[in-house]
Structure 1
Amino acid sequence: FDEQLDGAVVDDSTSLYAHPASYYQRADLLPALKSNDTLRERFFGGTSKPVFTSSTADNHLVTLAEVVAMYLLVWSPTPWTLIEPGKPHLEADEVERYAREQQLVEDFTAGLEGVARAMAHLPCMMIFDDHDITDDWNLSANWEETAYGHPFSKRIIGNALLAYLLCQGWGNNPDALNDLVRQVHELSAAAVRKDNWLDSTAQDALIDQLLKFQQWHYVLPTSPALVVLDTRTRRWRSESNFNHPSGLLDWEALSELQQELIDHKSAIIVSPAPVFGVKLIEAIQRVFSWCGYPLLVDAENWMAHRGAANVILNIFRHSRTPGNYVILSGDVHYSFVYEILIRQRSGGPHIWQITSSGIKNEFPRRLLDTFDRLNRWLYSPRSPLNWFTKRRLM
């Protein structure tokens, strides 16, 4: 399907695909207005992140068709047999990069048959994090105000969320999402009747619903219970400074989480970002947040927001919540396992934080080793520095 693109340099998706900036220069598709400088930097990765991540958005997906095509192409070898990608018009300095990336894509597609077979034989449950939509998605209230205040960036986010609904979210909790899926079907059916053009008004209305939707999380009735958190769309925004990182869950969402856990003996919690992270790295992120630069270091962790941190820690200490937890996480570009105990309480709870996030885009190994040694020394169980963290009782 094609679509109109309000607020962009191009008018619609067909113009986007034909535009010289369509490859490696998509940030240039934002209007060249002074008021959009912040949007350019935040949404298209203009902010430098020299230590913690190295992300670019030169080819950021924009249209709904692009995002759905991405899902099809990364999960199955079949769509690759139906297309013959042609080499686009490139600037001289982009030719080498294109050739290098083309080889990476070919290596990737060679392994897709095994991926498709694995997904066909295993139940796959998923939850979004920022890179399913865009980098640093909803990191702070200021980020939200900037991104959702521009029709083009709002459409980009909405299209990614629409595709997530169809390709990931629907299978997690069909009963909660059936009405939204029905509306997507109506939108696409209307597009078929209009020469495959999406109705812009209906598309924007559906995106508004998706951005307000509060049932992306889900609980599987297993033993122990498996609770999957949405830590992106129900955030506890900082009221003192809109540039400070938002809490990963707001008060209402945390209250619902506690009710889900009451009277269970054990629980598995899936939190995209670790609840219990590396204290040294969190301290560095805290310093950058104090200075007003949370985007430089992806300063979004459970302890970055006082309210959210206190509530989640109190949930673990509650007398009627489980005595045993396993928390499964990713996001941080490195992997670790922690056993967390509450000081001066021998009866639990016993908490295991398992984080696997080093397969792709891992921290530099030497930097990881340095942080690991410093963290063990500075924040050992008996270190007085622990009393300056929100996890002082753990």
Structure 2
Amino acid sequence: MKLYNIDHSKQSINYEPIQTTTINKTIKSGNNLFISLLEVNPIQGTFPIDEFIGYNLEFSTMNRKNFDLDTLGLLTSGHPQSIVYGDFDFPTFIIQKNAPNNILYGSCQKPHGKNQNVFPSADQSIEENFSTIKKRPNSLFLMGDQIYADDVADPIFPVVSKWSQALIGEDKRGLYSVDRRLQTTPFRKAIDRINGRQYTLENISHLTSNSAHNHLIRYSEYMTMYLLTLGPTLWENVEIPSFDDLVKNDNYYFIYPDNKKNKRNHKKERKKYNKRFNTEQKELANYVNTLSSVRRVLANTPTYMIFDDHDITDDWNISREWKKDVYQSPLGRYIVTNGLTAYWLVQAWGNDPDTFTPYANKIRYYLNRYLVTARFDEEWEKHLLSFHSWSFVAPTNPRSLFLDIRTMRRYDIEPQPLRIGRYIGEGNNAAQLISRRGWNRISSTLEKSNWRYHDPIILVSPTPLYGIGLIESFLNKFVYPFRLLGLPVNYNLDFEAWKYNGKGFNLFLQQLAKWNPQTCIILSGDVHYASAVKSKVTFTNKRELNIHQFTSSPIHNMSFSGLWGLLLKIVIWFNAQKRKRRTIHRYCDNFDRLQINSEKLELKKRYKWHEEIKYLTTSRGSIIETKNNIGLLQLTKNQMKNKLITAKVNPNKGIQ
């Protein structure tokens, strides 16, 4: 790897080579897939701070042929596949310390999501400021749902199947040994056909996604989906067969077979799938056209990622019952293990090399065995399912602490009353998204990062601490109870809120009080809208904590569409007008219940803390943005500025 210190002026650009040593740590992740982590160190001194650093990657083959990024056609300025900006010769990045901390942040990028992918707009914002240190984004935070393992479009399924075999090369028949039932005709026939996995996953693995008809199962499929979602290379020269050709070649699974007895139902079913296929194909084509922008942003911006549920499966670890059902199922454990192994390689290792590199030899060993048996050993499965060190600290200034809210939960045993229509009963409480033990682990991780108490801090929570009350209340009353009861609900805004469990919410704030940061910023995604909230929390010891939360979601999975979306947006708009004009007073009583006060809290009441919440408006006067968006947070010593980037429409060029 070659690095250059770049001096960019109006008159010229100078590239000064930086003398470095490079350690290449490569893991063979498939028969034709290798994941490399490069550790690069300067031979003398330290790397330049708050300056542009350019880089080029050099490769050599078994027959000693050498090539680099330029050989691959990636360094030609102005070329559609170029990964350079402006008149730079190389992709560049910034090691930020004293310069403004400019963070792009977002979540939820689904290939067949509604409306336009917003990554090209983020790409354009970097292009416009490519040579301006103070304005250019120097970090990218992807805060969950980098892939949608449980919601795979019909047209992408054959592409995943093709490339997973070419890249990984596992024996597909190995899956049948996971559960004997998979060897029987109905399951074996359906599982590798488009639309053939819903019943299997519901009844054998006990997963709860209502879009699981093409759910990823094998490790090879998870790895391939990352490559198809985050870059354009695998899409080059790919021709997706037509719906009719797929049906003709027996690649589609139909509930009703095409025979005389089921002719009418089969015809209706085929019409339904044909319509879905055509819609998804258009959405997918639009998305694929944006992937060169995705790659260029990733190539020029230090990127940190944390999972949410869809990276593995919908509702991942949502309740004690979910964990019991799924992890007692061999197929359930198989799927989650495969998803976590892919996450380890593609996301976690680069986030925190010091934590994950010591496991490199272990994962090499188990991957080699997987390529023979198409199944990970029980020891690796147990290791991943009990691993709790996914949280990490990104070396930004101020430090950024990424929270794992999926694997360190606590499930309270006390029942909560449930009323759904005429049904009255008891159900489980929502989970504490991070248990007390989990917070202790996270605090230890933070302390090891050279962060000191009272230093400013950025917290990355995949789901917001503060949501929009109207939406949260709707979910809490009409959606979340069904999920806790284990019933599938077809609802695009599926999300879990901190406030659903008062103990968990209180633990979050109490942990912040212990750290006592000078400035506390929370960045979040997940909820399919963007918002900004400011809260002043006062504890019983009179200590005050000021929290600024910025939420950006989705990058490409707009949910507020159609008539229902329009009606909800109207209701939210009226609700927002009231919230813009007032401060919300809330307190936590001694039973960890979050209570709203119409006016400022009377100090006679017993409470653990009280807070004043203000929802901040966007430039358009609303407290939420429902279009696809990505946030840009700009931090200096004296100021923070949040901007939402949405898809830009040019009447002559369409969506940019």
TM-score strictly above 0.5: yes
Q: Who is 1:222 aligned against?
A: 396
Select the residue among 454, 460, 475 that pairs with 1:270.
Answer: 460
Q: Who is 1:341 aligned against?
A: 536
Select the residue among 546, 553, 578 that pairs with 1:357.
Answer: 553
- More strand by percentage: 2
1:305 aligns with 2:482: no
Greater mean deviation of Cα atoms: 129-138 or 272-281: 272-281
**Runs of 5+ in structure 2 lacking a partner?**
1-169, 255-269, 416-426, 597-609, 612-656
Give the superposition deviation at 1:372.
Answer: 4.8
d(CA) in 2 for partners of 1:300 and 1:98? 30
Greater mean deviation of Cα atoms: 357-366 or 123-132: 357-366
**Structure 1 residues 383 and 206: alpha-carbon distance in aligned structure 2, compared to 1, 3 A threshold:** closer
Given that 1:44 and 1:60 are in contact with CA atoms closer than 8 Å, whether structure 2 keeps it comes out as no
Q: Who is 2:286 aligned against?
A: 107
**Structure 1 residues 225 and 135: alpha-carbon distance in aligned structure 2, compared to 1, 3 A threshold:** same
1:390 aligns with 2:594: yes
Given that 2:351 and 2:394 are in contact with CA atoms closer than 8 Å, whether structure 1 keeps it comes out as no
Select the residue among 179, 189, 193 that pairs with 1:22.
Answer: 193
d(CA) in 2 for partners of 1:172 and 1:20? 34
1:161 aligns with 2:340: yes
- Which protein is bigger by CA-based radius of gyration? 2
Q: Who is 2:220 aligned against?
A: 65
1:322 aligns with 2:496: no
Greater mean deviation of Cα atoms: 56-65 or 103-112: 103-112
Greater mean deviation of Cα atoms: 384-393 or 106-115: 384-393
Task: Give the secondary-structure state (helix, strand or coil) at the position aligned to 1:368.
Answer: helix
1:208 aligns with 2:357: no
Q: Who is 2:431 aligned against?
A: 246
Give the superposition deviation at 1:172.
Answer: 0.5
Given that 2:317 and 2:406 are in contact with CA atoms closer than 8 Å, whether structure 1 keeps it comes out as yes
Q: Who is 2:175 aligned against?
A: 4
Amino acid at match of 2:410: W
Question: After superposition, where does 1:28-47 map in structure 2 within 5 Å?
Answer: 28-30=199-201, 40=206, 43-46=207-210
Amino acid at match of 2:527: V
Q: Who is 1:371 aligned against?
A: 572
Task: Give the secondary-structure state (helix, strand or coil) at the position aligned to 1:136.
Answer: coil
- More helix by percentage: 1
1:190 aligns with 2:369: yes
**Structure 1 residues 350 and 171: alpha-carbon distance in aligned structure 2, compared to 1, 3 A threshold:** same
Q: Who is 2:167 aligned against?
A: none
Task: Give the secondary-structure state (helix, strand or coil) at the position aligned to 1:339.
Answer: strand
d(CA) in 1 for partners of 2:283 and 2:479? 36
d(CA) in 2 for partners of 1:267 and 1:67? 33
Give the superposition deviation at 1:133.
Answer: 0.8
Greater mean deviation of Cα atoms: 296-305 or 171-180: 296-305
Given that 2:454 and 2:516 are in contact with CA atoms closer than 8 Å, whether structure 1 keeps it comes out as yes
Amino acid at match of 1:23: I
Amino acid at match of 1:326: I
Q: Who is 1:77 aligned against?
A: 232
Given that 1:278 and 1:375 are in contact with CA atoms closer than 8 Å, whether structure 2 keeps it comes out as no
Task: Give the secondary-structure state (helix, strand or coil) at the position aligned to 2:534.
Answer: strand
**Structure 1 residues 362 and 378: alpha-carbon distance in aligned structure 2, compared to 1, 3 A threshold:** same
Question: If the length of structure 2 is used for normalisation, what is the TM-score?
Answer: 0.51
Q: Who is 1:121 aligned against?
A: 300
Given that 1:44 and 1:58 are in contact with CA atoms closer than 8 Å, whether structure 2 keeps it comes out as no
Cα deviation digits, residues 34-85 of structure 1 (max 9, x gap): xx6xx65xx2434xxxxxxxxx222111111111111111122222236554
Amino acid at match of 2:412: S
d(CA) in 2 for partners of 1:358 and 1:31? 27
d(CA) in 2 for partners of 1:290 and 1:134? 17
Give the superposition deviation at 1:277.
Answer: 1.7
Q: Who is 1:49 aligned against?
A: none
**Structure 1 residues 321 and 385: alpha-carbon distance in aligned structure 2, compared to 1, 3 A threshold:** closer
**Structure 1 residues 25 and 379: alpha-carbon distance in aligned structure 2, compared to 1, 3 A threshold:** farther
**Structure 1 residues 329 and 299: alpha-carbon distance in aligned structure 2, compared to 1, 3 A threshold:** closer
Select the residue among 310, 317, 327 that pairs with 1:131.
Answer: 310
Given that 1:243 and 1:292 are in contact with CA atoms closer than 8 Å, whether structure 2 keeps it comes out as no
d(CA) in 2 for partners of 1:154 and 1:250? 23
Give the superposition deviation at 1:290.
Answer: 9.2
Given that 2:311 and 2:339 are in contact with CA atoms closer than 8 Å, whether structure 1 keeps it comes out as yes
Question: If the length of structure 1 is used for normalisation, what is the TM-score?
Answer: 0.82
**Runs of 5+ in structure 1 lacking a partner?**
47-55
Task: Give the secondary-structure state (helix, strand or coil) at the position aligned to 2:594.
Answer: coil
d(CA) in 1 for partners of 2:580 and 2:411? 28
Give the superposition deviation at 1:300.
Answer: 2.2
Give the superposition deviation at 1:334.
Answer: 1.3
**Structure 1 residues 376 and 322: alpha-carbon distance in aligned structure 2, compared to 1, 3 A threshold:** farther
**Structure 1 residues 244 and 10: alpha-carbon distance in aligned structure 2, compared to 1, 3 A threshold:** same
Percent identity over paired residues: 27
Q: Who is 1:52 aligned against?
A: none
**Structure 1 residues 233 and 31: alpha-carbon distance in aligned structure 2, compared to 1, 3 A threshold:** closer
Amino acid at match of 1:74: T
Given that 2:391 and 2:442 are in contact with CA atoms closer than 8 Å, whether structure 1 keeps it comes out as no
Greater mean deviation of Cα atoms: 269-278 or 19-28: 19-28
Task: Give the secondary-structure state (helix, strand or coil) at the position aligned to 1:234.
Answer: coil
Greater mean deviation of Cα atoms: 156-165 or 175-184: 175-184
Task: Give the secondary-structure state (helix, strand or coil) at the position aligned to 1:68.
Answer: helix
Q: Who is 2:619 aligned against?
A: none
d(CA) in 2 for partners of 1:244 and 1:284? 16
d(CA) in 1 for partners of 2:413 and 2:387? 22
Amino acid at match of 2:461: S
Greater mean deviation of Cα atoms: 85-94 or 372-381: 372-381
**Structure 1 residues 105 and 293: alpha-carbon distance in aligned structure 2, compared to 1, 3 A threshold:** closer
d(CA) in 2 for partners of 1:188 and 1:239? 38
- Give the length in aligned residue pairs: 369
Across the aligned residues of Structure 1 and Structure 2, the Cα RMSD in angstroms comes to 3.3
Q: Who is 2:113 aligned against?
A: none
Select the residue among 145, 148, 151 that pairs with 2:327.
Answer: 148
Amino acid at match of 1:362: S
